[in-house]
Amino acid sequence: MVSTDNLMIYLSEVFLSHPVLTSALLVLTITRIIWYIRDSYKVCAFSQKHVFITGCDSGFGNLLARQLDGKGFHVIAACLTEKGAADLSAAASSRLKTIQLNVTDSASIKRAVEFVSREVGERGLWGLVNNAGRSTPIGPIDWLCIDDFTKVLNVNLIGVVDVTLQSLPLLKKAQGRVVNVASILGRLALTGGGYSLSKHGVEAFSDSLRKDMKPFGVKVSIIEPGFFKTAVTQQDLIEADLRRLWSLLPQDVKASYGATYLEDYVKAQNFSLGVLCSPDISKVTWCMQHALTACFPRTRYSAGWDAKLFWIPLSYCPSFISDFIIKVILPPPTGETNT
């Protein structure tokens, strides 16, 4: 056994004999401390700030709306359905306002922003959280048609752009924040469909917006969640849509994949979602809250162990490595043309 004193002596000798290493560790330690202190500074007067959140029927948006309401913010929560709005109103204080919003309808967005404008008055809008999203249709690319792509892109990307553009005058007035929910799949495309396309687009839009709005004091942050249990990752809905897509395929396309491919694909996908999906969605809403309340919000927030330990490192690997890993996760076609 090595005593504590001997260990300390050994470490001291190591550091003294390696001044470059010692300097590097010292710089890293000081940098980390400064970053931690800077990261902890919060803005004040939550009760005088308004935050507009889309996609509040369930999941991240619903929880964030209730959390911010509990902190004293004036929350304007946009829901797609009447039931979603009613349920959220019942779970929050009278300070929280709900409105119905379809982010694929520019006229609906205009009505919502007009409501927000009346609520915020001359103070302007402190925070916009573009959270509304959908995942399906998703699957192998040649199972899809152009309408399948546009259904997802219209919600996840065009809706984000439209809501943001119509809200910018209010955000500039308050020198506020835009928080856009992308995904770890905005860094790395796992499967076909509009989801990864839309999230890559959200990343690019947010980067452009951040640079253009900086002179006006508007800050922009991107949330990159890993896999969490929400409506977006609901296994039965994704499986049902995959079966719908398969049923519409021409026989020659089915034959190219093999008779058992659909079941193999569904099994692999359900297994992956079951293993990766975390039920603790507060890890995501913590990132959103920090982006809205920190004096120095981060440009990007990753949430979830899989994002930090698997997907982000994988996204920096050479393509042949990431392609191989994804090939291991998803089954290969076994049809006649693939043997």
DSSP states of 169-231: HHHHHHT-EEEEE--GGGTS--SSBHHHHHHHHHHHHHHHHHHHHGGGT-EEEEEEE--BSSG
How far is C-alpha 260 from the chain's CA centre? 33
Give me the domain span that covers residue 67: 44-338
CB atoms within 10 A of CB 113: 23
Q: Residue 272's pLDDT is what?
A: 87
Token digits of residue 130: 């573009």
Q: Residue 3's pLDDT is what?
A: 65
DSSP 8-state code for residue 34? H
**In DSSP terms, which residues pair with 98 in a beta bridge?**
77
CATH number, domain with residue 193: 3.40.50.720
Single-letter residue type at 201: G
Report whether pLDDT(2) > 60: no
Taking only the tens place, the pLDDT of each residue in 299-337 is: 999 999 999 999 999 999 999 999 999 989 889 998 766
Counting runs of H as helices and runs of E as strands, what totals does the chain give? 15, 7
Kindly state the average pLDDT of the residues 254-259: 94
236 touches 194 (CB < 8 A): no
87 falls within a domain: yes
36 falls within a domain: no
1 falls within a domain: no
How far is C-alpha 88 from the chain's CA centre? 21
Token digits of residue 330: 């998803």
**In DSSP terms, which residues pair with 51 in a beta bridge?**
75, 127
Average pLDDT of the chain, as a whole number: 93
Report whether pLDDT(170) > 90: yes
SS3 278: strand
Residue of 10, 195, 265, 301 marked active site: 195
C-alpha dist (Å) from residue 217 to 124, 130, 171, 176, 254: 13, 19, 9, 7, 53
Q: Which of 198, 194, 66, 197 is nearest to 130 (CA)?
A: 198
pTM for this model (two decimals): 0.89
199 falls within a domain: yes
Confidence label for 39 from pLDDT (cuts 50, 70 and 90): confident
Token digits of residue 297: 């919000």
261 falls within a domain: yes
Taking only the tens place, the pLDDT of each residue in 57-99 is: 999 999 999 999 999 999 999 999 999 999 999 999 999 999 9
Residue found under tokens 């049809």: 335
55 touches 80 (CB < 8 A): yes
64 touches 129 (CB < 8 A): yes
Greatest pairwise CA separation for the chain in angstroms: 74
328 falls within a domain: yes
Total domains in the fold of the chain: 1
Taking only the tens place, the pLDDT of each residue in 198-225 is: 999 999 999 999 999 999 999 999 999 9
34 falls within a domain: no
125 touches 74 (CB < 8 A): no
24 falls within a domain: no
Q: Residue 26's pLDDT is what?
A: 76
DSSP 8-state code for residue 232? G
Pairing assessment for the beta strands 177-181 and 127-130 based on DSSP bridges:
parallel
Kindly state the average pLDDT of the residues 177-193: 94
Residue 195 annotated to the active site: yes
Report whether pLDDT(31) > 90: no
